[in-house]
Structure 1
Amino acid sequence: MGRPVTDDDIGLKVLREPRDTDTQAAQIVDIVAIHGIGAHPDDSWCKNVGTVQTPQWANWLEKEDMLPKTAPHARIMRYGYQSQWFGKGAMRQNASTVAQRLLLALRRKREGFPFRPLLFIAHCFGGLVVLKALLDAQLDEKEWPGIFASTTGLVFFGTPFRGAEGMSQVEMLEAARREYHQDEVYTDVLKILEPGNEFLQAVVDQFGKTRRLPNKAQVACFYELKPSNVGRIVGKEDRARFVVSESSGCLDLSDSTSKFSLSRTHFNMNKFGSPTEEDFETVSDVIKSIIGASYELLAARFQCN
């Protein structure tokens, strides 16, 4: 779709309020979806269910028979940020900056109910933003009330917890610099995707320590089964490769962490067009399960305190 990200696209946008007007406040959950780099905050979740000539875009986050049906008591939101790292719309950006802006937006939107259950859905780099935001929220609970304590579920699509082996930073930069001027290419956002990056390792290791706490959030990690043409990102052909491997895309192994394969490429694993797609049915079941356990999980946490 390739639309530029405008000022109106940035920030936390409510896509749908809870469907049932009679829903008790205690039953409502917040769901927040966060896109990856080089993606539009809305288009990232869309699949063309029409034709190339006459496209029809379905956004599964707000299509009534998809996520709203899966989670009828949820307030569904998506967070948008400037994620373009090359070209005229490029911005200097990194995970810490986006995480801080996300926390500010969450605090603002959840001001009246900071301890409502919170579920994150994230694609690629967006998952690393979520981890950093949760670590910051845990470190300063007075500044960010309820955000860490109320997070009951995390759904990751191709998040490179140990780096994106199939997206070599050197290759990506060389390709981008062939297509764009030097001052139109920013490298900061790519660094965290490199296997062995110290900041990436620190964030994942620190978050791993929070997983030792009792009553931890339910985590679902989805990984790709089809290779992607990575070079196409910057306008050139390239050999197909897996961007995020199964091992890199799975956060940890525990009783509250599960992993699932999707028969998709890295760049379309977060796009669904119909509730009958098998991959969506899997995602839907996972989200239902997380929401179903959320209230009991929060009650157990507050009893411990």
Structure 2
Amino acid sequence: MVRPVTNDDTGLKVLREAPAEAAEIIDIVAIHGIGAHPDDSWCKNVGTAESPQWVNWLNKEDMLPAVAPNARIMRYGYQSQWFGEGAMRQKASTVAQRLLLALQRKRADYPFRPLLFIAHCFGGLVVLKALLDARHDESEWPGVFASTTGLIFFGTPFRGAEGMSQVEMLEAARREYEEDEVQGDILKILEPGNEFLQEVVDQFGKTRRQANKAQVTCFYELKSSNVGRIVGKVDRTRFVVSESSGCLDLSDATNKFSLSRSHFDMNKFGKPTEEDFETVGEVVRDMIRASPKLLLARSQCNYAS
């Protein structure tokens, strides 16, 4: 059962400040998917059902902070519940605008600090939309697009989520909840062939043709998920996002890796020794190492032009 997202849970929350003595600070922002809690989305229980021990790999000292010791680590939260009590009518474009406003406030003193995004599922589409908006109006959102050096996507359905159709999900939800407790608008972007989804991915793909583009790594699931249990009582075990849908593009700056997990636990790690976390850690380290050189090349390119 997903915890309700309250007003205190939304917005950009700093999980760990960068050390005061850090020379080259980078901002890392994690964004969850739909129907998920902004904090719980990144937590894994390393205890038992009776005595749970929850680990959030974003701020556990021997996990992401150890991988990125000079990073200010944040997570962005939004109202993602689309069924049940407190269901919200939500769209990727709305969440993207709110994310940009939050980044503007948090990065006001350092708008051109290197920026790395980590996103799960729908959160990845929010990131793409936010970056497109920031690129379209750089005077309104200074530094966001120009300073983004790395993007890590966990199961983001760039060509739609094939596991369970929007119609199936809505029907399952309406069997369990009242009509006014089901807000299915947010699901539309996850449908294969959705025009808004195609436009966002295509438009972002055009930005990937330029020099000095951000590094991108896409992770895809190897285990199926019981998507039927999300909203109802009927088991429907399927892959939610396929390998092909979960890869943004085929450019030389895009890498993809498999994770031996289902869609709903591929963004949760409990120990630094987990093989999948070690892979993620290497990706983050490589992106951080490449950031200064990437930003320098961009600045020289802009100066020359």
Question: TM-score range with shorter-chain normalisation?
Answer: over 0.9
Relative to the length of structure 2, the TM-score reads 0.98
In the alignment, the residues of structure 2 paired with residue 60 and residue 258 of structure 1 have an alpha-carbon distance, to the nearest angstrom, of 22
In the alignment, the residues of structure 1 paired with residue 233 and residue 68 of structure 2 have an alpha-carbon distance, to the nearest angstrom, of 40
In the alignment, the residues of structure 2 paired with residue 186 and residue 140 of structure 1 have an alpha-carbon distance, to the nearest angstrom, of 31
In the alignment, the residues of structure 2 paired with residue 255 and residue 191 of structure 1 have an alpha-carbon distance, to the nearest angstrom, of 30
Matched, 1:279 2:276: yes
Give the equivalent residue in structure 2 for 1:22. Answer: 21
1:232 CA drift (Å): 1.0
In the alignment, the residues of structure 1 paired with residue 22 and residue 65 of structure 2 have an alpha-carbon distance, to the nearest angstrom, of 14
Contact between 2:175 and 2:232, CA under 8 Å: does it hold in 1?
no
User: What amino acid is the match of 2:199?
Assistant: A
Which consecutive unaligned segments of at least 5 residues does structure 1 have? none
Question: Could you say what the CA RMSD is over the residues aligned between the two structures, in angstroms?
Answer: 0.7
Matched, 1:253 2:250: yes
Q: Aligned pairs, how many? A: 302
In the alignment, the residues of structure 1 paired with residue 88 and residue 293 of structure 2 have an alpha-carbon distance, to the nearest angstrom, of 42
1:207 CA drift (Å): 0.2
| Residues 1-305 of structure 1 aligned to structure 2 (within 5 Å) | 2-18=2-18, 20-24=19-23, 27-305=24-302
In the alignment, the residues of structure 1 paired with residue 121 and residue 54 of structure 2 have an alpha-carbon distance, to the nearest angstrom, of 21
User: What amino acid is the match of 2:2?
Assistant: G
In the alignment, the residues of structure 2 paired with residue 167 and residue 63 of structure 1 have an alpha-carbon distance, to the nearest angstrom, of 34
Relative to the length of structure 1, the TM-score reads 0.98
Which consecutive unaligned segments of at least 5 residues does structure 2 have? none
User: What amino acid is the match of 2:60?
Assistant: K
Between the two proteins, what is the percent identity of the paired residues? 81
User: What amino acid is the match of 1:12?
Assistant: L
Contact between 1:229 and 1:237, CA under 8 Å: does it hold in 2?
no
In the alignment, the residues of structure 1 paired with residue 22 and residue 269 of structure 2 have an alpha-carbon distance, to the nearest angstrom, of 27
User: What amino acid is the match of 2:38?
Assistant: P
Q: Matched residue of 1:302: which SS?
A: helix
Contact between 2:42 and 2:57, CA under 8 Å: does it hold in 1?
yes
In the alignment, the residues of structure 2 paired with residue 41 and residue 237 of structure 1 have an alpha-carbon distance, to the nearest angstrom, of 27
1:89 CA drift (Å): 1.2
1:3 CA drift (Å): 1.4
Q: Residues 127-175 of structure 1: CA distance to partner in whole angstroms, max 9, x if unpaired? A: 0000000000000000000000000000000000000000210110000
